[in-house]
Amino acid sequence: MSFLLWRPGRSTDGICKILEIEGVEKSFELAEGVSRATGWPDDAQCQMDPNRPKDIALADSLLGAKLVVVSAKVKRALDDAHSKNVEFLPIKIINHKGRVASDEYFVLNPLEICDCIDVQQSNVEWNDLDPEAICACDALILKESAVPESLSVFRLKHWKNLIVIRRSLAESMLSQGLTGLNFLEPEEYMGLG
- Average pLDDT value for residue range 154-181: 97
For the segment 127-153, the average pLDDT, to the nearest whole number, is 94
Question: Quick count: other Cβ atoms within 10 Å of Cβ 168?
Answer: 12
What's the confidence (pLDDT) of residue 192? Answer: 64
Model pLDDT, residue 191? 86
Domain segments of the chain as ranges: 3-188
In this prediction, residues 47-64 reach a mean pLDDT of 96
Residue 115: closest CA among 158, 71, 151: 158
Quickly state the pLDDT bin for 193 (edges 50, 70, 90). Answer: low
- Amino acid at residue number 119: V
d(CA 18, CA 65): 6
pLDDT in tens, 67-120: 999 999 999 999 999 988 999 999 999 999 999 999 999 999 999 999 999 999
Is residue 108 helix, strand or coil? strand
